[in-house]
Amino acid sequence: MDHFDWVIISKGGRSTVSGYLNGSCVEVTHENAEENFMKSTLSAWRKIAVCNLLINRTGLSQVRRVILVLSGKGGVGKSTITTELALAFLHAGKKVGILDVDLCGPSIPRMLRVCRPDVHQCDSGWVPVYADAQQNLALMSIGFLLEHPDEAVVWRGPKKTALIGQFVSDVAWGELDILLVDTPPGTSDEHLAVLENLRKHRVDGAVLVTTPQAVSTGDVRREITFCKKLGVRILGLIENMSGFVCPHCSECSNIFSKGGGEELAKLTGSEFLGSVPLDPQLTQSLEEGTDFLQAFPESATFSSINTIANTLLSRIQDD
C-alpha cells in the first residue's frame, strides 16, 4: 500500500510545532513508500500546489523587493550578514523583513534577541514577529514555532516544503521595502521550495556570502551555477571574516587568506560588494542581541556593512 493522507485545517492558532502539524498545515503521511518514492513525491508536489491555490494568500503583495541570502557551505556567517544588512536597511529608513527558512538551524531569533514569542493569526495569515517597537523590522522563523530552542527539526522534504510554502504565502508582512530570505547552506530542497513559491512574486536577486578560504569559495562556485540554472540574478558577493579586528588597537590582521571572494567575483563576472572583518564587537552584539550598527557607528566594520548595504540599495532601486 502506498498513499498520502492529507489534513488541511486553516486558522489553527497554535504557536508550537506540534500545533502547526496538527492545526494549520498540510500533513503528509506515507506507508511502505520506498519502492515508489519518486511517484509519491510527485503526487505530494501536485497536492501542495493545489493547496497553495486554495489558500490564495497575498502575503507578499505589498513587499517591494525580495533578496535571497545564500552560501555554499555552513559557518561562513550568512545569518550574521542577513541580520546586519537588515539593520543597515532599517537605519536607512526602510521597512524590512527577514524570512528565516533555515529550518534545521534557525539563528535569526537569537541574533535579534526575539525569543519564544507567540505567533498569532489574522484574516490575512500569520502575523510576523517584530524586533523593534516601531514595527519596521518584521521576522518569521521556525524558531518561533519550536516548543524548546534546543528542539531538533527532523522532517522529510514534503513537510519542509509545506512549511516554506506557508511562510512565503501565508505571512501577513504588510508593507515592506525589502524582504531578506535567509536560506540554509548549499543547494537543497529548501532552496527549490523557496524559489518555486516565490515564482509568482519577483525575486530581485541573490547575495552570496563566502569566507576568503579556497574551501569556501569553491562551494560558492556551485552556488553561482545553481543561481544561473534557475535564473536567479546574482546581486553580488560578500567576503565575510576578511581579517581580524584587534579589540585593543582596532588594527585588522589577516589570520586567514585574503581576497578569495573578490577574486571569485572577477572570475565569475559577478560584482564584489565588499568584505566584512571578524570583529569581536560584532560577535558580542550578536550574542547579546544588540544593534551593532547603533552601538559602534565609528568602527571600520560599521563602515564596511553600511557601504555594502548602500551598494545593494542602489542596485535594486536602479531596476
Q: Of 19, 176, 165, which Cα lies nearest the Cα of 101?
A: 165
Q: Are residues 165 and 127 in the same domain?
A: yes
Cα torsion through 218, 223, 224, 226, rounded to 10? 140
* Distances 276 to 106, 113, 244, 257, 268 between C-alpha atoms, Å: 22, 22, 10, 14, 20
Question: What are 106-152's pLDDT values in tens digits?
Answer: 999 989 988 767 788 877 789 999 999 899 999 999 988 887 777 88
Q: Which of 277, 216, 220, 272 is nearest to 243 (CA)?
A: 277
Residue 191 neighbours by CB distance under 10 Å: 24
73 is in an annotated binding site: yes
Q: Residue 7 — φ and ψ, nearest 5°?
A: -125, 120
What is residue 149's predicted lDDT score, i.e. its pLDDT?
A: 72
The mean pLDDT of 233-257, rounded to a whole number, is 86
Asked whether residue 249 is marked as a ligand-binding residue, the answer is yes
Q: Which structural domain, as residue segments, surrounds residue 78? A: 63-317
CA 96/CA 89 separation, integer angstroms? 7
164 in the same domain as 30 = no
CB-based contacts of 95, cutoff 8 Å, min separation 6: 136, 138, 175, 176, 177, 178
Question: Do 71 and 141 sit in the same domain of this protein?
Answer: yes
Tell me the CA distances in angstroms from 162 to 126, 153, 167, 225, 308, one per residue in order: 15, 14, 9, 26, 33
Q: What is the mean pLDDT of residues 285-293?
A: 90
C-alpha cell at 265: 567575483
User: How many CB atoms are located within 10 Å of the residue 174 CB?
Assistant: 16
Based on the domain organization, do 172 and 254 belong to the same domain? Answer: yes
pLDDT in tens, 196-236: 988 888 899 999 999 888 778 888 898 999 999 999 999 99
Domain final position from 13, 31, 55: 55
Q: For position 271, which CATH number holds?
A: 3.40.50.300
Say if residue 79 carries a ligand binding annotation.
Answer: yes
Are both 91 and 199 inside the same structural domain? yes
What is the pLDDT of the chain when averaged over all its residues? 81
Is 246 flagged in the annotation as binding?
A: yes
Say how many C-beta atoms besides its own lie within 10 A of residue 33's C-beta. 17
Please state the domain count of the chain: 2
pLDDT on residue 40: 52
Q: Is the pLDDT of residue 66 over 70?
A: yes
pLDDT for the residue 154: 82
Q: Tell whether 198 and 312 lie within a shared domain.
A: yes
Domain check: are 250 and 230 in the same one?
yes
SS3 at position 167? helix
Q: Is 72 annotated as a binding residue?
A: yes
Q: Distance (Å, rounded) from C-alpha 186 to C-alpha 73?
A: 6
Q: Among residues of the chain, what percentage have pLDDT more than 90?
A: 42
Q: Do 51 and 71 reside in the same domain of the chain?
A: no
pTM of the model: 0.79
186 with 213, same domain: the answer is: yes
**Whether residue 47 is found in the same domain as residue 165:** no
Q: Does 155 share its domain with 39?
A: no
- 86 and 45 together in one domain: no
